[in-house]
Structure 1
Amino acid sequence: MDDDGNNSLDLQEFMKFLPDFGVEVNPDEAKVMFQALDKDGSGTIDLNEFLLGLRPPMSESRMHILDKAFEKFDKNGDGVVTVEDLQDLNNLRQHPKYKDGTWTEEEVFENYLATFDSTPDDPDGKITHEEFVNFYTSLQIENDAYFNQLIRNRWKIQ
């Protein structure tokens, strides 16, 4: 689909591939679809925007447990997780690169934050609720009960 190889789709590339996948829409409908997927308004759809646009909605039970986990993750309650919020996560100090002296504690925390960042080409060192949910959506676990137990265990939620 990405004819020019720039790791994103412009409107022309997007409109070109729709019929290939059996999507028959007029140009105005295609533009509306494109704009809905282009979350950052850049005029292109990157892979992350594309995948997020195609994912099914998260169930209410999953959102509930993720909300609880995010509240626990966001120590100061400001709605954004930063390195400061991670200081009490002792398990990060068990990271092999910290233990062997390759990384400082802050580098371990920054690396951890980057795993959640939905803009890997432009990490900002912060995790929003949306990025947190997007990360866990990417796990693609089909069973809600298993997903919820996984989150409860990871974040020690009763």
Structure 2
Amino acid sequence: MTRESDMKEAAEAAAGESSSAMEKLQNLLLTHGYNGIMRFGRMFRIADDDGSRTLNQEELGEAIHNFGLHLDDEEVGEIFSTMDEDGTGTINYEEFLDKLRPEMTEERKAVVAEAYSVLDESGDGVVTLEDLKDKYDASGHPSVLAGEATEDDILLKFLGRFEGNTKEDGKLTKEEFMDYYSGISKSIDDDDYFVEVVKKAWKL
């Protein structure tokens, strides 16, 4: 069994014993794997056409349902009330996602931020195909050599591992990168090992 499978199994067990609806939601998202919270967040970010960064209770409930999570109306209401502290009837989904994200130590956050900065040389907070082209040479990929895919196809597939099963837009934000690695962080108890994993993956 892989480390990710172990995490999914533990999260499923924890979901049934959660002390709050918010904790239950976090665990249910982790049953979807390392990118569960990241994929959930992308639903909001992609749908936020007006840039308001807010959700009402009905929108939150729809998002939870559309993601295939089983929470009843009372639990959705509890989650919303927890976040809507000022009683405005809306919540900031970035703050909401930050609350859902498993806690990472400052050391872990720092190495993930360092890894993202390697990809995002321009510092604009978005990693695109152009950024990746400087970091990953896809010309020698077997599918490219066989004429079955273009270099851009391969790079988009690389980005897709972070985008999960939601709509792919060919862009990777720092928030999405953090969401993804927070899932991995949840499955690794040792700080030094987590740092080693990230550094090895991105050749830091």
Higher helix share: 2
- Structure 1 unaligned residues grouped into runs of 5+: 19-26, 41-48
Task: Report the CA distance shift for 1:102/1:54 in structure 2 as closer, same or farther (over 3 A).
Answer: same
Where 1:138 maps in the other structure, the secondary structure is helix
CA contact (8 A) 2:112 2:198 kept: yes
CA shift at 1:127, angstroms? 0.7
1:122 aligns with 2:170: no
- Please give the alpha-carbon distance, in whole angstroms, between the structure 2 residues aligned to 1:138 and 1:110: 22
Q: Which has the larger radius of gyration?
A: 1
Percent of aligned pairs with the same residue? Answer: 32
Could you tell me which amino acid in structure 2 is paired with residue 137 of structure 1?
A: S
1:145 aligns with 2:192: yes
CA contact (8 A) 1:14 1:34 kept: no
- Aligned pair count? 134
2:106 is aligned, of 21, 43, 60, to 60
CA shift at 1:78, angstroms? 1.4
TM-score, length of structure 2 as denominator length: 0.53
CA shift at 1:9, angstroms? 5.9
Task: Report the CA distance shift for 1:147/1:96 in structure 2 as closer, same or farther (over 3 A).
Answer: farther
2:147 is aligned, of 91, 101, 123, to 101
CA shift at 1:69, angstroms? 0.8
